[in-house]
Amino acid sequence: MLLKLKRNMNNWLVISLLLSIFGFLKELRPSEPFIFEFLIGEWKNLTETQVNQEVYPVGTYSYLAQLIIVFLITDLCRYKPLIILLGITGIVVWAMLLWTNSLLETQILEVFYGTFAACEVAYFTYIYAKVDKEYYQQVTSHTRAAILAGRATSGILAQSLISFKVMNYRELNYITFSAMIAATIWSLFLPPVKKTIYFHKDSSQKSFLEKNKSAYKLMWTHFVKGYSNKYNIKWSVWWALATCGFIQVQVYMQPLWTAIVNDQSQQIYNGAVEAILTVLGFLGALLAGVMKVDWKTRGELALTCCSLLQGFIMLISSQTPYVNTIEPVE
């Protein structure tokens, strides 16, 4: 019975499902669409300037610094410990959001949020150390779709609870806090990674230093080989720019909406926007997993068209004086 259970746990579909459930739980954060309103509200009592200039930048630079470290040690730590750390830091972040008040404490929680975000590297790469290459496209689709499904659910839940006045902005954090606890507990049941790509390739009797030296040498070889390919360079540059742009918009769109609305009586739809955005992404991720397309020949055209469309919409959005598409009647 135990042997059968162990065999099932190593099945690629089961592993993908377990990781996807974790991904869904960690993204179940209904407080995030309204986090700016919470920070400048009566609970934290921070000013818009403090949040924009003294709080958010701490999270951004903390994430950048820790991302480099996490990237280098993920394989060494065999992925799973960092996934568990992701959940634990999520608990710390939302505990501090709920039960601390000062500017300094908010800045400290942003450092933990940087750890939380950086450890996502382990979530996205764990699956490749556990399944065969032939399943990479499917598992990538599953894990990405789980993330988007969690965000969409968060948006719908947040908007519903706020619109119907079931909860206020602070109370949404209790749901997120509970989801972080559930995600952390769930992460404990993920199958451990015994063999990794770099540091734990085999069971040889090499010393720890020799293994590390060999691993980083192989990592450098793969880096040089990978970026000798023009296709990889173009994809990486696009991904870096797109990710930076997405994070910038995601972080500062709420302050922009607040500045435009500037009216506490007007209904805001942060959660609805987040839900629509992620539902479209969720469908796209699932579609990418089943489509049989030669992305080496069609990928650049698809990225160009999507990037131009998104850039055009962003330019229009940046110039509009209204959050809603219909101009209010005076």
List pLDDT tens digits, range 180-237: 999 999 999 999 988 777 776 666 666 767 777 777 788 888 888 888 888 888 888 8
pLDDT top residue among 101 and 1: 101
Q: Which residues contact 158 (CB under 8 A, 6 or more apart)?
A: 30, 31, 32, 33, 34, 172, 270, 271, 274
Instruction: Find the length of the chain.
Output: 330
Domains and CATH numbers, the chain: 2-199+269-292 (1.20.1250.20)
The whole-angstrom separation of Cα 246 and Cα 80 is 27
Q: Provide the percentage of residues in the chain whose pLDDT is more than 90.
A: 45
Q: Which of 289, 70, 80 is nearest to 187 (CA)?
A: 80
pTM confidence score: 0.87
Tokens encoding 98:
């709920």
